[in-house]
Structure 1
Amino acid sequence: MRNAHAAYTHAYRVKRLEEQTGTWHKAKRLAEYVTAVRERATSLTPGHELTEIKEWLTFAEAHLQELINTATTPTLPMPPTPSSADLAPLLAQQAFANRTSPHSQMRP
């Protein structure tokens, strides 16, 4: 049972790590895009289009900051308490591994 809990915790943390990595990549791509839009805005003359781009930049930069904060301050997550249904596949895997292990065949 302890091994199933450890496997559940590990799987949960790997999933969150992959999500954090995805958020980091998303923030990086968005930062590049925001920079390109900002550079484009410098060539525009005052008017409706420039006003809309400035409003968009305000929104996009705020959203980008949220992503950056999430991606650059990772924490080691504690998984929720697993249910019996969460542990069942892990316990089944362990039972199968124990039956097929060469060590389980060796009996004095």
Structure 2
Amino acid sequence: MQEAHAAYTHAYRVKQLGEQADTWYQARRLTEYVAAVGVHATSLPPGQERTEVDAWLAFADAHLQNLTESASAPKLPTPPKPSGDDLKPFLGHWSPYGPRSY
């Protein structure tokens, strides 16, 4: 069971690492896109379209700040307590519910 718990913890952390990397890439990609839209916005004349683009950019900047903060401060995640079903993939032919349970 100790080996199954260790394998479960490892798999959980690998999954979290992938999600953190995805968040980082998304933040980077969106930062480039928002910067390009910002450059385009400066070429717009004052008016409703410019006002709408500026409002959208304000929203996008706030969203990016949130993404950037979560991507820039990764921490080693602590997995939730696994259920028996969570441990099954790591136990081979053994049951997580005891030697006589299948």
Check whether TM > 0.5: yes
Which residues in structure 2 correspond to 1:28-107 (within 5 Å)? 28-92=28-92
Aligned to 2:6: 6
**Alpha-carbon deviation of 1:89?**
1.7
Look at both structures and tell me which one has the larger radius of gyration over its CA atoms.
1
Partner SS, residue 30 of structure 1: helix
Partner SS, residue 44 of structure 2: coil
Q: Distance in 1 between matches of 2:15 and 2:9?
A: 10
Per the normalisation by structure 1, the TM-score is 0.84
**RMSD of aligned C-alpha atoms?**
1.0
**Alpha-carbon deviation of 1:92?**
1.0
Give the letter aligned to residue 37 of structure 1. V
Per the normalisation by structure 2, the TM-score is 0.89
Count of residues in Structure 1 that have an aligned counterpart in Structure 2: 94
Structure 2: stretches of 5+ with no match in the other structure: 95-102
